[in-house]
Amino acid sequence: MAGTVATTETPKKPSDDLVLPFRTVRSGVIGRLVRLGAAVDEILSHHAAPEPVSQTLGEAVALTAMLGTALKIDGKLTLQTKTDGLLDFLVVSYESPGRLRAYARYDKKRVGAGDAIAQGALLGEGHLAITIDPGEDMERYQGIVALDGEGVGDAALSYFRQSEQLPSFIRLAVARHYTAGENGAPGRWQWRAGGLMIQHLPSAGGTNTDLEEAFESDEPDSEEDDDWERTRILASTVEDHELLDPTLAPERLLYRLFHEEGVRAFPAAAIEAYCRCSRERVAAFLKSFGAAELTDMREPDGSISVTCEFCTKTYKFAPDEFG
C-alpha cells in the first residue's frame, strides 16, 4: 500500500555494490537502483585517469550494472562508445552474475589531471552501442544510438525513448568520497557511483523486468499516462548525494522517493569488479602470433610483457616461453 516499502526477503541486505529492482504499487512502474562502492572504486582506481574521464566511466559502469542485472538470462551485456571526443572509446562489460569490468581510452596529452572539460568536449560525437549476448549459440542483439555531446545516461535515455518508444528516466551520479581510516590508519579518497532508472513497459502491467523484451517491444504507449508522469516527477527529485550516500539504505531512499506511490523492492543483485584475464589466457593469445610478430613484441632482454587494458595487470613471459 502507499506509504510503505515491501520487500520479498527478510535478511538484512548490504547497502553497497548492489542493484535493487523495485516496482511502484500505485502506478506499476518498474525500476532499478544501483549503489556502487568498492566495486567501482577498484575499477576506476586501476586506470588512475583524470577526474572527468573517471566520472564518465563511472557513470557507464553504474548504467551497465542496471541494464545487465535486468537480463533474465545468464548472459553478457556490453556498453560501448566510439566518438571523436577526447574520450574517444570506452567499454563496460557485464557478465552474470554481477561481474563488471571497464576500460576507457582518452587523449592523455589533452586531458590533463585537474583540467575542467565540458561533457560535450569529452565525449564528442559518435555512437553508443548496447550489445546483449545470450550465449549458447543464441543470436546476439545490438542497439545503437547517436552520441551528440551528451552523457552516457542521456544517450541511453534517448535510445529507450526514440528507438524503443519506451518511457524511461535515468539519473547517474559519480564522485569521490573521503573515508576515514580505522585504528589510526590514514584515510583515503574512494570513488562511489549510484543510479536510478525507471521505465514504463507497454502492455506489461508494471511487472516485467526483462531487458530483452524491453528492447524488442515496438508498441508505442499512445495514451496519456498520468501514472507514469507522476512517478517520473517523483524520481526526478532524487539528489546526487542520495544516490551516493553509503549511510542511506537503498530501501530507505526508495521510500523517500515513492512513498506516495507505495513501492515493492525485490531481491538485490550483488555487483563485483572482475576481470577474465589470466596468465593462461594471455599465453594462449600470444601463441596465435607468428615468430616475426612475437619478435616485434619482445623487450631488449627477449621477454614479452602484456598488460590487460581492463585491470592493468601485467603478465611477463620469459624469452624461451615462445621459442
Per-residue pLDDT tens for 127-166? 999 999 887 777 888 889 988 878 899 999 988 877 667 8
17: left (phi over 0), alpha (psi -120 to 50) or beta: left
Phi, psi of 76 (to 5 degrees): -125, 145
For residue 164, what pLDDT is reported? 65
For residue 163, what pLDDT is reported? 67
* More confident site: 182 or 248: 248
Query: What is the overall mean pLDDT for the chain?
Result: 84
Q: What is the percent of the chain where pLDDT is above 90?
A: 49
Q: Give the integer Cα–Cα distance in Å for 161 and 168.
A: 7
For residue 148, what pLDDT is reported? 85
For residue 180, what pLDDT is reported? 77
- Taking the CA atoms of the chain, what radius of gyration do you get in angstroms? 21
Across-strand partners of 20? 33
For residue 112, what pLDDT is reported? 67
Of 282, 273, 322, 281, nearest to 306 by C-alpha is 282
User: Within 13 Å of residue 42, how many CA atoms lie on the same side as its CB?
Assistant: 16
Contact, 191 vs 41, CB < 8 A? yes
For residue 64, what pLDDT is reported? 97
* More confident site: 226 or 110: 226
Which pLDDT band holds residue 116 (cuts at 50, 70, 90)? low
For residue 98, what pLDDT is reported? 94
pLDDT per residue as tens digits for the range 266-288: 999 999 999 988 999 998 888 88
For residue 159, what pLDDT is reported? 83
Q: Give the three cell numbers for residue 255.
A: 521510500
For residue 121, what pLDDT is reported? 74
* More confident site: 1 or 73: 73
Question: Beta 272-273 vs 99-105: how paired, if at all?
Answer: parallel
For residue 188, what pLDDT is reported? 83
SS (H, E, C) the chain: CCCCEEECCCCCCCCCCEEEEEEECCCCCEEEEEEECHHHHHHHHHHCCCHHHHHHHHHHHHHHHHHHHCCCCCCEEEEEEEECCCCCEEEEEEECCCEEEEEEECCCCCCCCCCCCCHHHHHCEEEEEEEEECCCCCCCEEEEEEEECCCHHHHHHHHHHHHCCCCEEEEEEEEEEEECCCCCCCCEEEEEEEEEEEECCCCCCCCCCCHHHHHHCCCCCCCCCHHHHHHHHHHCCCCHHHHHCCCCCHHHHHHHHHCCCCEEECCCEECEECCCCCHHHHHHHHCCCCHHHHHHHCCCCCCEEEECCCCCCEEEECHHHHC
Phi, psi of 9 (to 5 degrees): -140, 145
For the cut 60, the answer to whether the pLDDT of residue 253 exceeds it is yes
Which pLDDT band holds residue 211 (cuts at 50, 70, 90)? low
Q: How many Å from the N-terminal Cα to the C-terminal Cα in the chain?
A: 70
Which pLDDT band holds residue 209 (cuts at 50, 70, 90)? very low
Contact, 187 vs 180, CB < 8 A? yes
- Tell me which of 112-116, 163-167, 197-201, 318-322 is least confident: 112-116
* More confident site: 185 or 236: 236
- Tell me which of 75-89, 176-190, 270-284 is least confident: 176-190
Which pLDDT band holds residue 224 (cuts at 50, 70, 90)? very low
Phi, psi of 114 (to 5 degrees): 85, -5
Q: Which residue has the cell 549511510?
A: 247
- For each of the domains in the chain, give its residue range(s) and CATH number, in order of start: 5-273 (3.55.30.10), 279-322 (3.90.1280.10)
- Tell me which of 10-24, 52-66, 217-231, 258-272 is least confident: 217-231
Contact, 178 vs 187, CB < 8 A? yes
Q: Give the three cell numbers for residue 149.
A: 555531446
For residue 2, what pLDDT is reported? 43
